[in-house]
């Protein structure tokens, strides 16, 4: 086995859901790529280390300081959907049914997995709402965590934290079956969960 190939396989196995065999398949396929494409691939990877990756406002992906959603005048900046992960944001964006903005927590509260409230972007959310409330009293926070134990724990915690702020707080409707996820919900389900939020 070539050392260079072996090294790359090891890197791929660090990715979620990729085992050694799958990693080997990916790398062997890449051996057939034209040199230019490999160069581009390696540049996009090293580019991840430069400049902003996460929006300073909502923690979505971006190349600028603020993401395209936070800087869009077409979006209602007073409706904030709080999601666990960037992939949840992307699923909601694909529905095209939500015209507000997001706040990506970066996970859920999961003490046994070592994830505590201070590991999530919760204080950032509270500050963001306080800033927004200086401009308008009409702010809504839509808690869009997943309907599983950790998502529920996180939602309850958020509701408690939001209480003193006197901000309208809603949850995605139960169209999302318990145990399902925002990321993999089909679009109709998500659109309905949003429409009937309460
Ligand atoms: Zn943003």
pTM of the predicted protein model: 0.79
Report the separation in Å between the CA atom of 67 and the middle of ligand 1, taken as the mean of its atom positions.
4
Report the separation in Å between the CA atom of 122 and the middle of ligand 1, taken as the mean of its atom positions.
15
Report the separation in Å between the CA atom of 28 and the middle of ligand 1, taken as the mean of its atom positions.
37
At residue 163, the 3 state secondary structure works out as helix
Report the separation in Å between the CA atom of 71 and the middle of ligand 1, taken as the mean of its atom positions.
7
Taking only the tens place, the pLDDT of each residue in 153-185 is 999 999 999 999 999 999 987 666 666 777 877
Place of tokens 């971006």: 62
Q: Which domains does the chain have, with CATH numbers?
A: 3-47 (1.10.8.420), 79-195 (3.40.1360.10)
Report the separation in Å between the CA atom of 58 and the middle of ligand 1, taken as the mean of its atom positions.
4
Place of tokens 């050694």: 20
Structure confidence at residue 101 (pLDDT): 98
Strands (E), the chain: 79-83, 101-104, 140-143, 168-171
């Amino acid at each position: 086995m070539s050392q260079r190939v072996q090294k790359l396989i090891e890197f791929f196995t660090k990715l979620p859901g990729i085992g050694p065999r799958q990693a080997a398949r990916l790398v062997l396929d890449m051996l057939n790529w034209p040199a230019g494409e490999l160069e581009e691939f390696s540049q996009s990877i090293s580019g991840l280390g430069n400049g902003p990756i996460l929006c300073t406002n909502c923690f979505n992906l971006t190349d600028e300081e603020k993401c395209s959603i936070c800087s869009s005048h077409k979006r209602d900046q007073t409706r904030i959907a709080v999601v666990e992960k960037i992939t949840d944001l992307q699923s909601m964006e694909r529905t095209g049914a939500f015209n507000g903005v997001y706040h990506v927590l970066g996970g859920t509260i999961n003490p046994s997995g070592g994830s505590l409230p201070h590991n999530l972007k919760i204080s950032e959310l509270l500050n963001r709402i306080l800033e927004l409330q200086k401009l308008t009293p009409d702010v809504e926070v839509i808690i869009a965590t997943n309907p599983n134990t950790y998502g529920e724990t996180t939602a309850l915690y958020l509701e408690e934290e939001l209480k003193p702020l006197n901000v309208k707080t809603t949850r995605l409707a139960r169209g999302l079956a318990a145990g399902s996820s925002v990321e993999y919900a089909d679009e109709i389900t998500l659109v309905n969960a949003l429409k009937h939020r309460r």
